[in-house]
Amino acid sequence: MNSVKNLDLTKIETMSQQRGKPFRILVVDDEPRVRDVFKEFCEVTRSVEVDIAVNGLEAVEKVQGGDYDLVTMDLIMPEMAGVEAVSRIKEMRPYLPIIIVTGNATEKLVNEAGVRGAASLLYKPVMLKDFVNEIIVTLEKSQDRRSRA
């Protein structure tokens, strides 16, 4: 992950203004270092609000009780791993997009997450620029899908 300087946030800020509220993103990862970078990103823009879960179980509980626009999901975590969490979240919220962010998951695990409904995949270490771009693309697709539903 790299610094938040030089990030182009125009697009996501316009999208957020158009809907009149920030995008709520749930970041699920058991590594504090990863979570800190997402929090840092959140502090440079009012277009997103980041909430944190430290494992799959907490992620499922938070989605149950919250209203999120997007989830980023680590795969290898204690308590409940990412693939199981993706399944449970998709059962509850079929339209909630989930981006897998993984360091060393096997191809089999990554494929399984896709089968259970994950929208896309980023490999760690993730460049913040790539992360923001992926969020924008995923939110745009998600809004299109909802407006056509």
Which residues lie near Mg ion (CB under 5 A)? 30, 74, 76-77
Min CB(87)–Mg ion separation in Å = 18
Min CB(29)–Mg ion separation in Å = 6
Torsion 92-41-56-87 (CA) sign:
positive
Give the nearer residue to Mg ion in terms of CB position, either 54 or 128.
54
Give the nearer residue to Mg ion in terms of CB position, either 12 or 113.
113
Min CB(62)–Mg ion separation in Å = 17
Min CB(147)–Mg ion separation in Å = 34
Give the nearer residue to Mg ion in terms of CB position, either 34 or 128.
34
Give the nearer residue to Mg ion in terms of CB position, either 44 or 80.
80
